Amino acid sequence: MKKQIKEDSTTPLEKREKIAESIIMIGIFLGINVWAFAGTFIWGLVVFVLSIFIAQFVFWK
């Protein structure tokens, strides 16, 4: 008997979506830390918005 190879059930779109979500979560974390340690809200917001742009690039690539 042959062993059945378990195929990955996720589609490429689902994989990209998970990566994009991960990038946004990291951006939220980094944005809060930058805001806390730099003391200005605008730099934390800039980091968060940049993470959204990077996530969109990865998702639509």
pLDDT tens digits, 20-47:
999 999 999 999 999 999 988 999 999 9
The CB-side HSE value for 40 (13 A sphere, CA atoms) comes to 4
Q: How confident is the model at residue 54 (pLDDT cuts 50, 70, 90)?
A: very high
- At residue 19, the pLDDT reads 92
Q: Are 26 and 52 in contact (CB under 8 A)?
A: no
Average pLDDT, the chain: 87
Q: Which two tokens stand for residue 1?
A: 């008997």
pTM of the model: 0.76
- At residue 2, the pLDDT reads 59
| CA atoms of 9 and 7, how far apart (whole Å) | 6
- At residue 7, the pLDDT reads 63
